[in-house]
């Protein structure tokens, strides 16, 4: 730093997700009090920031940003009477909303104060150094021992010590948690992007999901789920709630559970569920899926369902995450940290978990024979090899993406499970390449979407399901006849498709319920190369955050 050395060793920073005001230097964190003595970073939303700001302005505080966060700095400053911990505790009483906040005070330079309410915050415990972060990968390079801060707790960190207090100011004995993720998992490891690395990690991720959950004699063991036959029989329906990619995995889960357990399943986006007054009782099993375990909409859905008596089963990737802590039963995906905003390995492992749960329920219900379960489980175990086959085709997928990267619209079609794969492929394309893409059940083409097909339109067709293959082939012929450029993904039982389309990928024969796992990998790679060809920032697509901890 200009002017000589600067002895300070405590610091805070935050990559801001713009909730108030445009992304700009003025709106960037940290935000400071008028005298510059208090600095804060904040994740979440302060809902009552307008009246607080008006009050503080009337008291003479000068605001420089459009953010809600800045009120926290000014409030702490106005509450500061020589003890930063006390000032923060006073401040918390006035805040409404969701927040994880770190506070520094110039007069107590060795302390960092952290607070949390409905927004993720972890404390990393090091040797002569301590950390706070909103997500585990951020600190993995430094430590794998963490505390999970609970809602309404306040932590005081110095380099040698961490103290945590509850709402009433009583010191809390925190149990530390050991994270078994490899620090290397949070590095790109030679890949150009985290997304590509994570796509390539999928064979291993699936194996890690299955490890210890299928015994030698083919029994499914889900130790973290305490659902016995009697409990399961008590549910008259299941609701699955999730967002984005996790929603798509839930869509497959619905199909699997209805197929194997014969229990009616409703699927709902968490952002819709929370405002629709859902019909829930103690006969409801709510299944939620979330990579991060911190998605605000999904957490709100859990809260609503629990208050009405539902039991909650969570499928998540992050040990000790808020969703894991709220759920009655948990199945961890064990995918390892997912850094890229675009979810890939979390999706295939969520699908694998849903299949395990569906078979497990099917067996409890007596609807699935041992032979049937064995066959699906064997296919599931082999799915890593099938993913590898898809990865081996990366160059061909890249060529197709590079040929068509100037197209501004793309359509994806499929039926049944294949339609869900199309939905997930479409989401990947949108979020990282910014190409407008839509997925349709292929049978719906004739009810409207086919009007969009013209010379050169890109159509990605997923046709892995035997019972609908012929129907899908007809749909492919319909769009080809109108000039579409078609990439198809099917099984190697159907080499005849090669002469009908511009590019085809044949998945080695597998059980149909498992086929969505390798099939989606072709679409992930296509979306990835499309984004690269278009010069997009693959790992950090515009307007998106990895964990959506605000509404
Ligand atoms: O952490 P979650 O699984 O709850 O996140 C849900 C969605 O925000 C997430 O899947 C999002 O759609 C991804 N960016 C998709 O790639």
Domain residues for the domain of 282 are 187-390
- Nearest Cα to Cα of residue 414 among 461, 457, 474: 461
| Same domain? 263 vs 379 | yes
| Same domain? 193 vs 172 | no
| Same domain? 173 vs 212 | no
| Same domain? 425 vs 372 | no
What is the whole-number distance in angstroms between the Cα of residue 344 and the centre of ligand 1?
Answer: 10
CATH of the domain at 148: 3.60.20.10
């009655």: which residue's tokens?
A: 328
pLDDT, residue 5, reads 60
**Residue 258: inside a domain:** yes
| Same domain? 308 vs 452 | no
Q: Against a cut of 0.85, is the pTM above it? A: yes
Question: Which residue has its alpha carbon closest to ligand 1 atom 14?
Answer: 342
What is the whole-number distance in angstroms between the Cα of residue 371 and the centre of ligand 1?
Answer: 35
pLDDT, residue 2, reads 43
**Residue 75: inside a domain:** yes
* DSSP H or E run through 329: strand 329-332
Q: Which two tokens stand for residue 461?
A: 């067709």
Query: Which DSSP string do the residues of 81-118 spell out, in sequence order?
Result: SS-HHHHHHHHHTT--EEEEEEEEETTSTT-EEEEEES
Question: Which residue has its alpha carbon closest to ligand 1 atom 4?
Answer: 290
pLDDT, residue 3, reads 46
Contact partners, residue 268, CB within 8 Å, separation at least 6: 239, 240, 241, 276, 278, 301
**Residue 41: inside a domain:** yes
Question: Which residue has its alpha carbon closest to ligand 1 atom 8?
Answer: 244
Beta bridge partners of 116: 100
pLDDT, residue 143, reads 94
What is the whole-number distance in angstroms between the Cα of residue 234 and the centre of ligand 1?
Answer: 31
Q: Are 102 and 133 in contact (CB under 8 A)?
A: no
The tens-digit pLDDT sequence of the chain (551 residues) is 344 565 678 999 987 666 788 878 889 999 999 999 999 999 988 989 999 999 999 999 999 999 999 999 999 999 999 999 999 999 999 999 889 999 999 999 999 999 999 888 999 999 999 999 988 888 998 999 999 999 999 999 999 999 999 988 999 999 999 988 887 777 888 999 999 999 999 999 999 999 999 998 889 999 789 889 999 999 999 999 999 999 999 999 999 999 999 999 999 999 999 899 999 999 999 999 999 999 999 999 999 999 999 999 999 999 889 999 999 999 999 999 999 999 999 999 999 999 999 999 999 999 999 999 999 999 999 999 999 999 999 999 999 999 999 999 999 999 999 999 999 999 999 999 999 999 999 999 999 999 999 999 999 999 999 999 999 999 999 999 999 999 999 999 999 999 999 999 999 999 999 999 999 999 999 999 999 999 999 998 988 888 887 77
| Same domain? 197 vs 329 | yes
**Residue 2: inside a domain:** no
| Same domain? 385 vs 413 | no
What is the whole-number distance in angstroms between the Cα of residue 220 and the centre of ligand 1?
Answer: 27
**Residue 195: inside a domain:** yes
- Name every protein residue with a CB atom under 6 angstroms from any ligand 1 atom: 243-246, 290-292, 295, 298, 341-343, 427, 431, 544, 547-548
At 439, is the secondary structure helix, strand, or coil? strand
**Residue 22: inside a domain:** no
pLDDT, residue 100, reads 93
What is the whole-number distance in angstroms between the Cα of residue 45 and the centre of ligand 1?
Answer: 19
CA 210 to chain centre: 20
| Same domain? 421 vs 533 | yes
CATH of the domain at 544: 3.40.50.10490
The β-bridge relationship of strands 112-117 and 130-133 is: unpaired
Number of structural domains the chain divides into: 3
| Same domain? 488 vs 372 | no
Domain final position from 178, 202, 234: 178
**Residue 15: inside a domain:** no
| Same domain? 328 vs 456 | no
- Nearest Cα to Cα of residue 117 among 84, 82, 179, 72: 72
pLDDT, residue 118, reads 84
| Same domain? 403 vs 301 | no
**Residue 24: inside a domain:** no
- Nearest Cα to Cα of residue 386 among 509, 211, 525: 509
Domain final position from 130, 149, 178: 178
Ligand 1 atom having least distance to the Cα of 243: 6
| Same domain? 361 vs 413 | no
Q: What are phi and psi of 435, to 5 degrees?
A: -80, 140
Domain final position from 149, 178, 207: 178
């Amino acid at each position: 730093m200009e002017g000589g050395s600067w002895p300070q060793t405590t610091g805070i920073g935050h990559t801001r997700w713009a909730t108030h005001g445009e992304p700009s230097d003025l709106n960037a964190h940290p935000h400071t009090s008028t005298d510059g003595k208090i600095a804060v970073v904040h994740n979440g939303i302060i809902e009552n920031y307008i009246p607080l700001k008006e009050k503080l302005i009337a008291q003479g505080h000068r605001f420089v940003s459009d953010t809600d966060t800045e009120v926290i700095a000014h409030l702490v400053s106005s509450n500061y009477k020589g003890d930063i911990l006390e000032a923060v505790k006073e401040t918390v009483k006035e805040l409404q909303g969701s927040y994880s906040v770190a506070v520094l005070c110039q007069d107590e330079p060795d302390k960092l104060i952290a607070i949390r309410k409905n927004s993720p915050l972890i404390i990393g415990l090091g040797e002569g150094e301590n950390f706070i972060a909103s997500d585990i990968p951020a600190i993995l390079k430094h430590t794998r021992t963490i505390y999970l801060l609970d809602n309404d707790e306040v932590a005081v960190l110095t380099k040698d010590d961490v103290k945590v207090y509850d709402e009433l100011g009583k010191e809390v004995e925190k149990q530390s948690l050991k994270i078994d993720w490899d620090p290397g998992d949070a590095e790109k490891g030679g890949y150009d992007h985290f997304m590509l690395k994570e796509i390539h990690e999928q064979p291993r991720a699936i194996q890690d999901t299955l490890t210890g959950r299928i015994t030698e004699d083919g029994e499914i063991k889900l130790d973290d789920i305490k659902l016995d036959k009697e409990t399961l029989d008590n549910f008259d329906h299941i609701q699955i709630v999730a967002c984005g990619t996790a929603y798509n995995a839930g869509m497959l889960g619905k199909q699997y559970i209805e197929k194997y357990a014969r229990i009616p399943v409703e699927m709902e986006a968490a952002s819709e569920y929370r405002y629709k007054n859902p019909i829930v009782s103690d006969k409801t099993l709510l299944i939620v899926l979330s990579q991060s375990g911190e998605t605000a909409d999904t957490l709100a859905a859990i809260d609503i369902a629990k208050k009405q008596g539902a039991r909650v089963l969570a499928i998540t990737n992050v040990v000790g995450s808020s969703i894991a802590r709220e759920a009655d039963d948990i199945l961890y995906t064990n995918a390892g940290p997912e850094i890229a905003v675009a979810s890939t390995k979390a999706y295939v492992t969520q699908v694998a978990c849903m299949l395990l749960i569906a078979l497990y329920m099917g067996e409890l219900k007596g609807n699935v024979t041992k032979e049937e379960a064995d066959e699906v489980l064997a296919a599931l175990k082999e799915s890593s090899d099938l993913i590898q086959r898809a990865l081996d085709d990366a160059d061909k997928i890249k060529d197709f993406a590079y040929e068509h990267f100037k197209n501004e619209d793309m359509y994806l079609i499929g039926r049944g499970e294949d339609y869900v794969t199309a939905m997930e492929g479409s989401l990947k394309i949108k979020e990282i390449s910014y190409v407008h893409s839509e997925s349709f059940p292929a049978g719906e083409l004739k009810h409207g979407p086919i009007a969009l097909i013209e010379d050169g339109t890109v159509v990605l067709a997923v046709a892995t399901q035997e019972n609908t293959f012929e129907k899908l082939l007809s749909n492919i012929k319909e769009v080809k006849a109108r000039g579409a450029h078609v990439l198809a993904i099917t099984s190697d039982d159907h080499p005849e498709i090669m002469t009908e389309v511009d590019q085809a990928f044949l998945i080695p024969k597998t059980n149909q319920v498992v086929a969505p796992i390798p099939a989606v990998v072709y679409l992930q790679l296509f979306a990835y190369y499309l984004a690269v060809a278009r010069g997009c920032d693959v790992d950090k697509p515009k307007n998106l955050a990895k964990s959506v901890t605000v509404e």
